[in-house]
Protein backbone atom coordinates (compact mmCIF):
# COMPACT_ATOMS: atom_id res chain seq x y z
CA UNK A 1 0.00 0.00 0.00
CA UNK A 2 2.83 2.44 0.84
CA UNK A 3 4.51 1.58 -2.46
CA UNK A 4 1.42 2.77 -4.40
CA UNK A 5 1.15 5.90 -2.28
CA UNK A 6 4.81 6.78 -3.00
CA UNK A 7 4.26 6.15 -6.70
CA UNK A 8 1.27 8.56 -6.66
CA UNK A 9 3.24 11.25 -4.81
CA UNK A 10 6.21 10.79 -7.17
CA UNK A 11 3.93 11.10 -10.20
CA UNK A 12 2.37 14.27 -8.79
CA UNK A 13 5.82 15.81 -8.23
CA UNK A 14 6.94 14.95 -11.76
CA UNK A 15 3.70 16.41 -13.18
CA UNK A 16 4.17 19.61 -11.15
CA UNK A 17 7.76 19.99 -12.43
CA UNK A 18 6.63 19.48 -16.04
CA UNK A 19 3.89 22.12 -15.63
CA UNK A 20 6.30 24.63 -14.05
CA UNK A 21 8.92 24.11 -16.77
CA UNK A 22 6.26 24.40 -19.49
CA UNK A 23 4.83 27.61 -18.03
CA UNK A 24 8.33 29.07 -17.60
CA UNK A 25 9.18 28.24 -21.21
CA UNK A 26 5.95 29.73 -22.57
CA UNK A 27 5.93 32.94 -20.53
CA UNK A 28 9.69 33.38 -20.28
CA UNK A 29 11.49 35.45 -17.70
CA UNK A 30 12.40 39.13 -17.63
CA UNK A 31 12.61 40.76 -21.03
CA UNK A 32 11.64 37.60 -22.84
CA UNK A 33 9.64 36.59 -25.86
CA UNK A 34 7.69 33.58 -26.96
CA UNK A 35 6.36 32.86 -30.41
CA UNK A 36 2.70 32.00 -30.12
CA UNK A 37 1.38 31.57 -33.63
CA UNK A 38 2.02 32.23 -37.29
CA UNK A 39 0.07 31.76 -40.47
CA UNK A 40 -2.02 33.64 -42.99
CA UNK A 41 -5.02 35.93 -42.75
CA UNK A 42 -7.32 37.76 -45.19
CA UNK A 43 -8.33 41.43 -45.41
CA UNK A 44 -11.43 41.01 -43.20
CA UNK A 45 -9.41 39.42 -40.41
CA UNK A 46 -6.73 42.10 -40.72
CA UNK A 47 -9.36 44.85 -40.39
CA UNK A 48 -10.85 43.18 -37.30
CA UNK A 49 -7.43 43.19 -35.59
CA UNK A 50 -7.01 46.95 -35.93
CA UNK A 51 -8.71 47.81 -32.63
CA UNK A 52 -7.03 50.01 -30.02
CA UNK A 53 -6.99 48.20 -26.64
CA UNK A 54 -8.15 49.91 -23.44
CA UNK A 55 -4.62 50.29 -22.02
CA UNK A 56 -3.33 51.98 -25.19
CA UNK A 57 -3.49 55.69 -26.05
CA UNK A 58 -2.68 56.85 -29.59
CA UNK A 59 -1.38 60.41 -30.05
CA UNK A 60 -1.40 61.19 -33.75
CA UNK A 61 -0.11 64.74 -33.15
CA UNK A 62 3.25 63.55 -31.80
CA UNK A 63 3.35 60.12 -33.54
CA UNK A 64 3.44 58.28 -30.22
CA UNK A 65 1.61 55.26 -28.86
CA UNK A 66 1.37 54.88 -25.08
CA UNK A 67 0.99 51.37 -23.63
CA UNK A 68 -0.02 51.53 -19.94
CA UNK A 69 -0.36 47.80 -19.31
CA UNK A 70 -0.38 44.50 -21.11
CA UNK A 71 -1.84 44.90 -24.60
CA UNK A 72 -1.87 43.67 -28.19
CA UNK A 73 -0.43 45.92 -30.90
CA UNK A 74 -1.13 45.32 -34.58
CA UNK A 75 2.11 46.00 -36.50
CA UNK A 76 1.60 46.31 -40.26
CA UNK A 77 4.73 46.05 -42.39
CA UNK A 78 5.01 47.71 -45.82
CA UNK A 79 1.70 49.62 -45.70
CA UNK A 80 0.53 51.07 -49.02
CA UNK A 81 -0.46 54.44 -47.48
CA UNK A 82 3.07 55.08 -46.18
CA UNK A 83 5.56 57.35 -47.93
CA UNK A 84 7.84 54.31 -48.31
CA UNK A 85 7.47 50.53 -48.31
CA UNK A 86 10.21 50.62 -45.67
CA UNK A 87 7.71 51.39 -42.94
CA UNK A 88 5.81 49.98 -40.01
CA UNK A 89 2.30 51.15 -39.20
CA UNK A 90 0.78 50.84 -35.74
CA UNK A 91 -2.78 52.15 -35.23
CA UNK A 92 -2.51 54.47 -38.25
CA UNK A 93 0.88 55.98 -37.38
CA UNK A 94 3.96 55.31 -39.51
CA UNK A 95 7.05 54.24 -37.49
CA UNK A 96 5.65 55.63 -34.22
CA UNK A 97 7.50 55.99 -30.95
CA UNK A 98 6.00 53.44 -28.55
CA UNK A 99 6.09 54.34 -24.85
CA UNK A 100 5.54 51.25 -22.67
CA UNK A 101 4.97 51.04 -18.93
CA UNK A 102 7.61 48.93 -17.19
CA UNK A 103 6.39 45.37 -16.59
CA UNK A 104 3.92 45.31 -19.48
CA UNK A 105 3.53 42.21 -21.63
CA UNK A 106 3.02 43.32 -25.22
CA UNK A 107 1.73 40.93 -27.85
CA UNK A 108 2.84 42.09 -31.29
CA UNK A 109 0.61 40.81 -34.10
CA UNK A 110 2.93 41.43 -37.06
CA UNK A 111 1.44 41.35 -40.58
CA UNK A 112 3.24 41.84 -43.91
CA UNK A 113 0.94 43.74 -46.31
CA UNK A 114 3.71 44.61 -48.78
CA UNK A 115 2.95 43.27 -52.26
CA UNK A 116 6.52 42.49 -53.31
CA UNK A 117 8.94 42.43 -50.36
CA UNK A 118 9.75 40.25 -47.36
CA UNK A 119 9.84 41.92 -43.94
CA UNK A 120 10.36 40.96 -40.31
CA UNK A 121 10.00 42.57 -36.89
CA UNK A 122 12.97 42.55 -34.52
CA UNK A 123 13.50 44.17 -31.12
CA UNK A 124 16.98 45.48 -30.42
CA UNK A 125 18.94 47.48 -27.89
CA UNK A 126 21.03 48.89 -30.74
CA UNK A 127 19.76 52.11 -32.27
CA UNK A 128 20.36 53.59 -35.71
CA UNK A 129 22.18 53.94 -38.02
CA UNK A 130 21.59 50.47 -39.44
CA UNK A 131 24.09 50.38 -42.29
CA UNK A 132 25.73 47.04 -41.45
CA UNK A 133 23.07 44.50 -40.50
CA UNK A 134 25.64 41.66 -40.62
CA UNK A 135 27.36 43.06 -37.52
CA UNK A 136 24.06 43.58 -35.78
CA UNK A 137 22.79 40.06 -36.42
CA UNK A 138 25.81 38.65 -34.60
CA UNK A 139 25.58 41.12 -31.72
CA UNK A 140 24.05 40.60 -28.33
CA UNK A 141 21.85 43.66 -28.87
CA UNK A 142 18.98 41.64 -30.36
CA UNK A 143 16.22 40.98 -27.84
CA UNK A 144 14.26 38.77 -30.20
CA UNK A 145 14.09 38.12 -33.90
CA UNK A 146 11.50 36.56 -36.15
CA UNK A 147 11.55 34.96 -39.58
CA UNK A 148 10.88 37.00 -42.71
CA UNK A 149 7.21 37.05 -43.60
CA UNK A 150 6.14 36.53 -47.20
CA UNK A 151 4.65 39.40 -49.22
CA UNK A 152 0.89 39.62 -49.73
CA UNK A 153 -0.42 37.24 -52.37
CA UNK A 154 -3.99 37.34 -53.77
CA UNK A 155 -5.35 39.13 -50.70
CA UNK A 156 -3.68 36.76 -48.21
CA UNK A 157 -1.22 38.17 -45.66
CA UNK A 158 1.46 36.37 -43.65
CA UNK A 159 1.45 37.11 -39.94
CA UNK A 160 3.19 36.13 -36.73
CA UNK A 161 2.33 36.79 -33.07
CA UNK A 162 5.18 37.42 -30.67
CA UNK A 163 4.85 38.35 -26.98
CA UNK A 164 7.49 40.29 -25.10
CA UNK A 165 7.73 41.32 -21.43
CA UNK A 166 9.27 44.78 -21.03
CA UNK A 167 10.68 44.55 -17.51
CA UNK A 168 13.67 46.90 -17.75
CA UNK A 169 13.31 50.66 -18.29
CA UNK A 170 15.33 52.00 -21.20
CA UNK A 171 15.38 52.77 -24.90
CA UNK A 172 14.85 49.97 -27.41
CA UNK A 173 14.22 49.80 -31.15
CA UNK A 174 12.00 47.82 -33.49
CA UNK A 175 13.22 47.27 -37.03
CA UNK A 176 13.25 45.09 -40.13
CA UNK A 177 16.52 43.24 -40.68
CA UNK A 178 15.95 42.45 -44.36
CA UNK A 179 19.04 43.86 -46.13
CA UNK A 180 18.66 47.61 -46.72
CA UNK A 181 15.25 48.03 -45.06
CA UNK A 182 16.30 49.48 -41.68
CA UNK A 183 19.00 51.56 -43.42
CA UNK A 184 16.16 53.09 -45.49
CA UNK A 185 14.12 54.00 -42.41
CA UNK A 186 12.22 50.85 -41.45
CA UNK A 187 12.60 51.24 -37.69
CA UNK A 188 11.09 52.97 -34.67
CA UNK A 189 11.85 53.72 -31.03
CA UNK A 190 10.46 52.05 -27.91
CA UNK A 191 10.77 53.85 -24.57
CA UNK A 192 10.13 51.75 -21.46
CA UNK A 193 9.50 53.79 -18.30
CA UNK A 194 8.30 53.23 -14.75
- The pTM of this model reads 0.80
Residues facing residue 90 across a β-bridge = 75, 93
**Confidence band, pLDDT 50/70/90 cuts, at residue 46:** very high
pLDDT at position 36, please?
A: 66
pLDDT (average), residues 26-32 = 42
- Using CA atoms, how far residue 36 sits from 26, 27, 106, 109, 111, in Å, is 9, 10, 12, 10, 14
Amino acid sequence: MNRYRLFGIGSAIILAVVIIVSVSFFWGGSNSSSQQSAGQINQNTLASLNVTPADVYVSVSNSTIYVNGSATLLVVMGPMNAPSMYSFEIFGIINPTVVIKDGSVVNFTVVNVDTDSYHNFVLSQQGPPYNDMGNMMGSSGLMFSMQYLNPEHSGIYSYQNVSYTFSSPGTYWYLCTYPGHAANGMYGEILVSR
